[in-house]
Structure 1
Amino acid sequence: MAVVYQASDLALGRSVAVKLMRFDAAGVAGSARHRDEVAVLAHLNHFALVTLYDAGVEVIDGAPRSFIVTEFVDGTDLRSHLLAGPMDPGEVARLGADLCEALHCMGALGITHRDIKPANVLLAPSDFPGRVVRAKLADFGIARLFDAAHRTETGAVVGTAGYLSPEQAGGLPVGPAADVYSLGLVLLECLTGNHSYPGTAVESAMARLQRQPEIPDWVDAEWRAVLTGMTAREAEDRLRPAEAAGLLRVLVPSVDAPSVEVSSVSPEPAAVGVREEDSATRPLDLPTTLQREVAPFVPTSTLHPRAAPATAPSRRPRRSRTSRRWSLVISGVLVAVLTAGAVLFVVPGADPPPEPPAYPAVDGQLGDHLEQLQESVDP
């Protein structure tokens, strides 16, 4: 029905998968199914589903050939993987949960895959801790909108006999529940390594109408409940994809984060020495008024507003420095005046002291201090 090639995307420099359809053998109905496949892939977006890159029609050897271009999964498929034997239950649970999520996304768009089997589950290597592979559901060549008009040839059964749901085997209408049933058979095969319904296509299809799939006694109760719910004979009795995904997530073992060794003793920070000869690096002696203004720590839950101080603490250092500056000025003037008076007092026969110099008027506290100083030294 189709041939798949690995190709290179020259524009983006990536590997892709190219699927060429053979409509000469399938006829008009096959062409219609191909158009369904393209429409399905274009609307689906989930990490457990292959991604569609391109689609179209190309003339090859004088005949039109439809094609689709999807992401290339560099790995194997589940059928080949199972040749080595059963899988780890935790890995099966993780794989099944991812695929159930994909089925949920499909069902939300009214899409049924109809041919879920190990060969259509692609496995890509995974670097995530505790995870071996990532699963991607592929081959939507028979996927279609189940509410749309049927385009399949009369009497044809779409799907693989060994994994058909009872309604598919009985020729009844199918929906998303059929995919849940088929996936349940796939997960059971992953756990046991055995095919639930072996034999010819007819024998396999008829067997599921007569009996339920056999679940070995060694399968634990949690797994048994999930598999039984997914493979119930009646479609309405089966688990929904989202329900099955939730139950399977519980069965996925937790992954411990890689341990990192951290030294329990941290090196003490080196003390910063202060050289006495370097006065520029010495600590400054701040006024004690600054320290008294620092409020003690109070927990947030008990913090209460307190009245603002009458004088802002941040202004005190400026006034203190200003007062010291004017004190120095006054002291200098006082020393000069006293020195002049002493000289006049000890020198005999000196002329009468001259009139005190007239200083410019100074306002404020400084002016008052200067006047007091002048009066104290006047003879």
Structure 2
Amino acid sequence: MTLLERAAVRADRGAVCTDRGADSTDPTGARDIPTARRAAVAAPANTSQPAPVLGGRYRLGTQLGGGSEAYVKEALDLVTGKTVAVKIFRSTDSGGSAPFRRELDIHGRLRHRNIVRVLGSGTTVDPAEAGRHQEHRNYVVMELVGGKDLRGIMQHNQASPEQTAAWMTDVARALAHVHRRGIVHNDIKPGNILVDFATDPQGHGTAKLADFGIALKGRHGAPNSSSGTPHYLSPEEVCGGASTSASDIYSLGLVALECLTGTKAFPGPPLESMVARTLGEPRLPGTVRRRWSMVLHAMTDPRPAGRPSASQAVGMLRRLSW
């Protein structure tokens, strides 16, 4: 029996209508959320002070997002004249387990149209600490995506099945690329998926995977902080098991379901959400079409071995748009 055939059996058995309220908050507050709206890069309003320049090259502008580990600002590259995104890490730690080092060693070497590209890095005095005791901060320069992250998109509009298929196919392609290199992203969620509408103004846009701050590869094992975001963890991660490529696929399945329904598959407080994951599979509303339910049941199989690989998921998701 194939993956889809097994998923079809579970879909017939488990697809039921549910009524869940939308819950668009991220209670962890632990991961920075990179956004991608463009804005003018200029000095702060109502002040004669010039905008700070990082490394003598990047003139900082509007803050795009932030969290406990880092914040992201739009910046003008004074060398190329292009607008970029600069992620400034709050911690001064640059050791092997630090998010900054993971971004450089793992994310910095990736080149794929569905992965946000790292353009450079450096260390500087934090401009937010001017006039006080200053510490050096690490930063990473990335391409600025001309769109929004999925979390922001879903706060305003529920995605169509066609949009969801296109975006999830893009992310699955990115995962296939990183999994072949022995990398586990370890934090697949709407806030880490950016949709670039500038490259596809007449279509659905191009989805790009971002934020490899807790990714796993080789010597970069499990980070000191808890891995992933509670609402998108796989059952094996909830139970204390290792994060694997199959865990990324499970998380992507939950994101796809949220795109289609407008609600999280396992809503509620983090602990309640995680416990629910160990008790059963996501319950799919009757509004989810059968072809979609088969793919979602396959991606969210409770057994890691029962899930498709990222390459198989690309094929399954592409067929949904035919």
Q: Deviations over 1:294-353 (max 9, x none)?
A: xxxxxxxxxxxxxxxxxxxxxxxxxxxxxxxxxxxxxxxxxxxxxxxxxxxxxxxxxxxx
Q: Give the conservation status (yes or no) of the 8 Å contact 2:234–2:247.
A: yes
- Once residues 40 and 116 of structure 1 are traced to their aligned partners in structure 2, the CA distance between those partners, rounded to angstroms, is 16
Q: Is the 8 A contact 1:29 1:151 kept in 2?
A: no
Aligned counterpart, 2:204: 132
> Closer, same or farther in 2 for the Cα pair 1:165/1:29, shift >3 Å?
farther
Counterpart amino acid of 1:100?
Answer: A
Render the CA deviation track for 1:10-50: whole Å, top value 9, x for unaligned: 111111000011115xx677863321221112221111110
1:185 and 1:242 map into 2 onto residues whose CA distance is 18
Show the counterpart of 1:299.
Answer: none
Alpha-carbon offset, residue 130 of structure 1: 5.9
What amino acid is aligned across from residue 7 of structure 1 in structure 2?
Answer: A
Amino acid aligned to 1:6: E
Residue 75 (structure 2) aligns with: 7
Supply the distance in 2 between the matched residues of 1:238 and 1:50 (Cα, whole angstroms): 26
| TM-score between both structures, scaled by the size of structure 1 | 0.62
Contact 1:162 1:198 in 2 (8 A): yes
Identity %: 38
Tell me, yes or no, if structure 1 residue 172 matches structure 2 residue 244: no
2:312 corresponds to: 243
2:86 corresponds in structure 1 to 18
2:269 matched to which residue of 1? 200
Instruction: Letter of the 1:148 partner, please give it.
Output: R
Higher relative contact order (CA 8 A, sep 6+): 2
What's the counterpart of residue 118 of structure 1?
A: 190
1:143 aligns with 2:227: no
The CA deviation at 1:87 is 1.3
Pairing of 1:33-48 with structure 2 (within 5 A): 33-48=99-114
Looking at structure 2, the residues matched to 157 and 46 of structure 1 have their Cα atoms a distance apart, in angstroms, of: 28
Instruction: State how far apart, in whole Å, the 2-side matches of 1:151 and 1:214 are.
Output: 30
Aligned to 2:176: 104
Q: Identify the residue that residue 55 of structure 1 maps to in structure 2.
A: 121
Larger C-alpha radius of gyration, 1 or 2? 1
1:90 aligns with 2:159: no
1:161 is matched with: 230
TM-score (norm 2): 0.72
Q: Which blocks of at least 5 consecutive residues in structure 1 are unaligned?
A: 254-379
Describe the superposition over 1:223-260 as per-residue Cα deviations: whole angstroms up to 9, x where unpaired: 1111111101111110110001011111124xxxxxxx
Shift of 1:122: 1.0
> For residues 90 and 103 of structure 1, do their structure 2 counterparts lie closer, same or farther at Cα, with a shift above 3 Å needed?
same
- Which structure shows the higher helix fraction? 1
CA–CA distance in 1 between the matches of 2:175 and 2:109? 13
8 Å contact kept, 1:157–1:171:
no
Q: Which runs of 5+ in 2 are unaligned?
A: 1-68
Which of 134, 145, 159 aligns to 1:73? It is: 145
Amino acid at match of 1:89: P
Pairwise CA RMSD: 1.9
Q: Number of aligned pairs?
A: 248
Contact kept? 1:29, 1:152, Cα under 8 Å: no
Matched ranges for 1:24-35 at <5 A? 32-35=98-101
Kept in 1, the 8 Å contact 2:96–2:102? The answer is no
Partner SS for 2:283: coil
1:185 paired residue among 242, 251, 254:
254
